[in-house]
Structure 1
Amino acid sequence: MEANNHRHFILHKPYGYISQFISNDVKSHKKKFLGELYDFPVETMSIGRLDEKSEGLLLLTTNGKLSATINSKKIEKEYYAQVDGIITSEAITLLQNGVEIGLHGKKYITKPGEARKIESPNFKARTQKIRDERHGPTSWVSITLKEGKFRQVRKMTSAVGFPTLRLVRVRVGEIQLDSLVPGEAVEVRSLLPFQH
Structure 2
Amino acid sequence: MARLILFNKPYGVLSQFTDRGTETARATLSDYVDVPRVYPAGRLDRDSEGLLLLTDDGKLQARIADPKHKMAKTYLVQVEGEPDEASLERLQKGVRLKDGVTRPAEAERIAEPDLWPRDPPIRVRKTVPDSWLRLTIREGRNRQVRRMTAAVGFPTLRLVRWRVGDWTVDGIPPGEWRDADG
Q: Could you say which TM-score interval applies, normalised by the shorter chain? A: over 0.9
1:137 paired with 2:129, answer: yes
Q: Describe the SS at the equivalent of 1:32.
A: coil
Aligned-partner residue type, residue 97 of structure 2: I
Extract unaligned runs of 5+ from structure 2. none
Please tell me whether residue 120 in structure 1 is matched to residue 116 in structure 2: no
Q: Say if 1:10 and 1:60, in contact at 8 Å, map to a contact too.
A: yes
Deviations along 1:127-174, whole A, 9 cap, x unmatched?
011113514210001111111111000000000000000000111111
Report the identity percentage. 43
Amino acid at match of 1:35: S
Count of aligned pairs between the two proteins: 180
C-alpha distance in structure 2 between counterparts of 1:39 and 1:168, whole Å: 23
Q: Runs of at least 4 residues of structure 1 off by over 6 A?
A: none
Q: TM-score, normalised by structure 2?
A: 0.93
- Paired residue for 1:169? 161
Partner of 2:80: 84
How far, CA to CA, are the matches of 1:127 and 1:35 in structure 2? 19
Alpha-carbon distance, 1:16 to partner: 0.2
Check conservation: 1:130, 1:165, Cα contact below 8 A. yes
The verdict on how the C-alpha distance between 1:123 and 1:28 changes in structure 2, with shifts beyond 3 A counting, is farther
Deviation digits for residues 4-55 of structure 1, max 9, x if unmatched? xx42210001100010001344x254211011013221x1100001000000
Taking a change above 3 Å as real, the CA distance of residues 141 and 149 of structure 1, as seen in their structure-2 partners, is same
Query: Rg larger in 1 or in 2?
Result: 1
Q: Any stretches of 5+ residues in structure 1 without a counterpart?
A: 191-196
- Amino acid in the other structure paired with 2:61: S
Q: Which residue of 2 aligns with 1:98?
A: 94
In the alignment, structure 1 residue 156 sits paired with structure 2 residue 148: yes
Relative to the length of structure 1, the TM-score reads: 0.87
